[in-house]
Structure 1
């Protein structure tokens, strides 16, 4: 059973209610706390960005934010270095139920379960439009989430991998259509997650997704772990390959024992 906890019992709009369901309480921005984001001229844009930083932004090193996020592109790229996607089946569901664990030579990316249908594209686009509306003063949490998912979903093959992992339940149509939805949502969103240059001062980002990206980046660039993962996927990706390896290893051990006794016969 899915349990949804709402800290704001009186949402003033249906999309405001949706945000309180899809985002955890600590990510839902308080309007009075953040205040109104004033439009600044291009010359004072940098000062405006510094003024509107949240505490999450201040906790992250600027050098880490400015990393090249294009080292990998998609779920398929992560799979080649041993990073597997797992459906995060928790009682309390929200978009932020995302975690990454780096193991000995593989990694595990946990994502919440999603159900997509014919209404989903319109609903997601309305959420984006709502956050970008000048009359509400959120910190673009949904926009940051869509940017994060767009970095993972590049084409239909990525959607297929997510379906196989139980993360996506696609009633929308083909995998290609669902991939296009995330690609379209991820274009030109007001987020500073993957691009340090923007033509709007609304460049907020979520610490949650930044930290996940940094963890994946660290694992992805670890040559030892990626080499082991690639070797495993190449030579032990099927039960028959594993059996052949064990048989060859056993033959090698038996040959060594036979040679040993031939050189050192028992008296």
Structure 2
């Protein structure tokens, strides 16, 4: 007969590996969600973050290229676009406003508090402009649609061969720069990267200033070519620095903002290359 005071031995402990492959993505601890940047997270979390960024970016580029291709092939859409130039101006301004909103919007997770019981509790003072992930995706979708419409009318001013050549060159440059930036062989110190970013922003303002001035005074053929080369170099460096910074300076829940940054770099690089190739064809 067994002794009632003697309890059976507990079953042997078996460590269970975390599941990083479920449909909801990897488990991200609270310190990773709210206060730890991507570079300090576990490798699985960094990989999941990278997959999310490039999945969103791929969807944006696919939507933009598909709409642009449709605009170049459909006479009905071409007629609609050329007959409604005001809509193009509206979409450009709308995309700019959405870009500013997504860039400076505070993180929604900053408004989430962790209670003593370890549960998440939404703060009662969440600003109206602090959107959830679904809301941010909605704004990003509207931004991408507006950008696609704006780019389509620009593409109509170029011949199809020039567009395809610019698309091919842009793809090669983006793949090469992205692989180089993520390889770690040419990694900038964070302070150096931010210093380069400072001068890149000045270069961007110069580019904007020249473009705005050309609306009133025009642009010579030589200046137009130099403008294209300056833009191509500028946004290539932007793409390199942004690719490094998004894995070192942001938090795991900012993949939407990061995808938008890379999208803008690639789109502006494409437009600059398009300008260069068009100038070469004119010669």
For normalisation by structure 2, the TM-score amounts to 0.27
Larger strand proportion, structure 1 or 2?
1
Higher relative contact order structure (alpha carbons within 8 Å, sequence separation ≥ 6): 2
Structure with more helix by fraction? 2
With structure 1 as the length reference, what TM-score do the two structures score? 0.28
